[in-house]
Amino acid sequence: MIVLGGLAWTAFAQQKAPKWMEKQKKAVVSITTYKADGTTLHNGTGFFIAEDGKLLSAYSLFKGADKAVVTDTNGKTYPVSRV
């Protein structure tokens, strides 16, 4: 019974979330880095800080990586051009 009440409260709280929250969710991205042989090195997250594609993330994700891609909330991937 308590679990159901908690789930109901969570659903209610999400409905009452501020309008800016939806916009902020779109800024969060998934980052995947790869070794030279194409295998995955690291997975992590970051977020866009500018409309031109600049984003912030932990440098440790990119250390030793040969290439990296960013995946947005719509599932579209973009290559990382520089770190």
Return averaged pLDDT per consecutive 10 residues of the chain, 83 residues in all.
Answer: 43 63 83 97 94 92 96 93 88
What is the distance between the alpha carbons of residues 26 and 7, in angstroms, rounded to a whole number? 24
Task: List the end-to-end C-alpha distance of the chain, in Å, as a whole number.
Answer: 50
pLDDT of residue 28: 92
Q: Does pTM surpass 0.95?
A: no
pLDDT of residue 9: 45
Using a CB cutoff of 8 Å and minimum separation of 24, what contacts does 38-47 make? Answer: 41/65, 46/70
pLDDT of residue 14: 56
